[in-house]
Amino acid sequence: MIARDPALAQAIKSAQACDVASGLIVTPSSAQSLVCAALASPEHGGRPLLVITATTRDAEDLATELRGLLGPNEVAEFPAWETLPHERLSPTHDTVGRRLAVLHRLAAPAADDSPAGLIRVVVAGVRALLQPIVKGIEQLEPVIARAGDEVELEHVVERLVSLGYARTDLVTRRGEVAVRGGIVDVFPPIEDHPIRVEFFGDVVEEVRAFGVSDQRSLEIAENGLWAPPCRELLLSPEVKKRAAALLNEHPDLADVLGPLAQGIHVEGMESLAPLLADGMHTLLDLVEPQRMTVVCDPERVKARATDLVATSEEFLAASWHAAAVGGQAPIDLSSASYRSVDEMRELAQQRGLAWWEVAAFGENPDATWTTDINPIASFRGDTDGALSAIAKRSTVGDCVVVMTAGHGPAKRITEQLAQRDVAAKVADGIETEPDLHVITVTTGPLHHGFDAKAANLFLLTEADLLGTSGPVDREATRMPSRRRRGVDPLQLTPGDYVVHEHHGVGCFVELAQRTVAGATREYLVVEYASSKRGQPADRLYVPT
């Protein structure tokens, strides 16, 4: 519905026609994800996007919201290294795996071996945009094995080792592979659990996930094994040859170059990629020409980029200062340094890529579209004030949507509205033609709401109502941990026993509202045995 805003509708039309190479959409930060979704939506004839944010956290949050709006397979986050380009530290295997999985999908969006196909929106922090990437790494094929495939076990293992996997006796970490008879265990960096491939001769008989702690097989891996490289600098024969030649010129780097020349991976080896690889390029060199670049909060992005470039130059001056005897110049690793935003924008122009910006204020000489969308002040638990605002907008014929993080809060808010004679219903999403006389309460990924007057849309979130929001469903990109089951407050009755994470078993008493620091919130009251003899029972107030 937000696409009904006249300014945004004009921007979408210009994006479809590809008639504006540089433009600015003025809208509050709370509506940025919906604006990006509208620009990319196939329903509106949208184009694929490369969305740039100021920080990695911003990229994670925006990607989470966009997945909820467009679909989980339509959006991919391209993460940045945890290290700087010139540090003697290697990025983690899971980060590298996620990066290379995205690059592979960009290079071959229609490939049958791709786990999800075309990426509608790629979200990247500016750090990931500015860092050069080894040329050709995106063309490397992952190791694939599905039940029924005919392939030699030794060939699978050799391919995994060539892609940077470390051969061990027991797989416990990402980037490891082990062989036991006719079984190959491998932990791809993009998976939550390691994968066990069982062979019968040269035929893959079964592919299952298995547990790290007890090594027991789990459920069938429906997509089989899909293992991308876990290093961005692979020790090919040419790389080993270059390392040996470089070692003769700079013997003071023997601790790194010596093992590389022998085919042994070393911590921090990626810092020498400019000298060992066939060249460097950037993410912008890899995206297809029809993909638009959209920069969110450009001023913050530029400030962050300036800091990153300055820090990178400091490390370049301090690290790898390997001037050889005789006054020769130090090794030139500048091609791995962060680029500037201006360089990226110039590269986009050279490749014919549109470069748009989305910000809360500003003006672009080429094209500026100012939406009639405004942020909403948090009600901080003021239920009466929130309901008054909701009822007011509903009576004038606007679509009013309340978005929560889970179904429990959605049901609770619907009940509270019903108690005040306000018609509301729980829905799976925002309908294209909703009943304007009934408040729509739904679950969704948005952190904050907005008031889109021209589009007749008034959207609030759980955080706007209560001052806090429920847990965000992020991708499981870290090692799997023990799963915990939450409690739905609406399913509790007085006297039920509950277990608090820190305080242990208690007895549920009631739901109650309290005002703390000016914010009114709802709490579960849990009762425990008295800490002092002869005194009333202790009560714990847990925010819902």
DSSP per position, 252-287: GGHHHHHHHHTT---TTGGGGHHHHSS-EE-GGGTS
Could you report the per-residue pLDDT of 90-136, keeping only the tens digit for each? 899 989 999 999 998 888 776 544 455 679 999 999 999 999 999 98
Output the CA torsion 162→259→184→232 (10° steps). Answer: -40
Judge whether 157 and 184 are in contact, CB under 8 Å. Answer: yes
Give, for 76, the enclosing helix (H) or strand (E). strand 75-78
Per-residue pLDDT for the chain (544 aa), expressed as one digit of tens each?
788 889 999 999 998 888 889 999 999 999 999 999 999 988 777 889 999 999 999 999 999 999 988 888 899 999 999 888 888 788 999 899 999 999 988 887 765 444 556 799 999 999 999 999 999 898 888 999 999 999 999 999 999 999 999 999 999 899 999 999 999 999 999 898 999 999 999 999 999 999 988 888 888 998 899 999 999 999 899 999 999 998 888 887 888 889 999 988 888 899 888 889 888 999 999 998 889 999 999 999 999 999 999 888 877 776 544 443 343 445 777 788 899 999 999 999 999 899 999 999 988 888 999 999 998 887 777 777 887 788 788 777 788 888 888 888 888 888 888 887 778 888 877 766 667 778 888 888 888 889 998 888 889 888 887 766 555 444 433 333 333 456 667 678 888 899 987 788 999 998 887 776 666 677 889 999 887 788 888 888 888 7
Distance CA 393, CA 377 (A): 15
- Single pTM value for the model: 0.80
Distance CA 25, CA 51 (A): 13
Can you read off the two tokens belonging to residue 218? 């789990």
Judge whether 161 and 179 are in contact, CB under 8 Å. Answer: no
Can you read off the two tokens belonging to residue 144? 């694939």
Q: Where are the beta strands (DSSP E) in 193-342?
A: 195-200, 203-210, 217-220, 225-227, 280-281, 292-296
Could you report the per-residue pLDDT of 173-194, keeping only the tens digit for each? 999 999 999 999 999 998 989 9
Judge whether 320 and 172 are in contact, CB under 8 Å. Answer: no
Distance CA 375, CA 383 (A): 19
